[in-house]
Amino acid sequence: MPDTVLERILMIEDEPDIRTVAALALEDIGGFDLTTCESGTQALEQIDECRPQLILLDVMMPGMDGPATLKAIRDLPGYTETPAVFMTAKVQSDEIESYLAQGAAGVIPKPFDPLTLAERIRGIWNQDCTIG
């Protein structure tokens, strides 16, 4: 069992619909404290305001994509170990492999089910805490 309870999540996703559904899934259903950003740039500006315990990123975004955003976040002080979860519409074995190699704690395939998203995030968090 992890020592700390997951409360604050930062989500970076360019698509407004998915942001709204995820907010519903994570705030209303999951009871998390969620901050959403529409781009990597915005995330870098806001990250210190929400001090996330977990970061959820879309892989494919215009401008800075998911992996690039994560890399930039990792360069900031205080976020080198923060678990990151990628969301992607492509689930190929080698793709997942590369995200995990980049230090992602998990990968959530799109489309995801809004009713179970919070549960899955919590699962990844617990797993990450037991390993880490």
Q: Which is nearer to another protein, 4 or 93 (CB)?
A: 93
Binding status of residue 106 toward another protein by CB under 8 A: yes
Structure tokens at 26: 């994570």
Interface mask (CB under 8 A) for another protein, residues 81-100, using x and -? ------xxxxx-x--xx--x
Indicate the residue among 19 and 70 with the shorter CB distance to another protein: 19
Is residue 9 within 8 A of residue 25, CB to CB? The reply is: no
48 touches another protein (CB under 8 A): no
Report residue 19 as tokens.
Answer: 């942001």
Per CB under 8 A, does 116 bind another protein? yes
Residue 111 interacting with another protein (CB under 8 A): yes
Residue 89 in tokens: 């519409």
Return the residues of window 28-47 that contact another protein according to CB under 8 A. Answer: 28-29
User: Both tokens of residue 62?
Assistant: 């215009």
CB closer to another protein, 5 vs 101 = 101
> CA geometry: angle at 132 spanning 44 and 4, to 5°?
75
Tokens representing residue 3 in the block:
């020592």
Q: Is 130 in the site for another protein (CB under 8 A)?
A: no
| Residue whose entry in the numeric block shows the structure tokens 């997951």 | 6
Residue 110 is encoded by which pair of tokens? 């799109």
Q: Which residues pair with 8 in a beta bridge?
A: 33
Binding site for another protein (CB under 8 A): 15, 17-18, 20-21, 24, 28-29, 60, 87-91, 93, 96-97, 100, 106-107, 109-116, 119-120
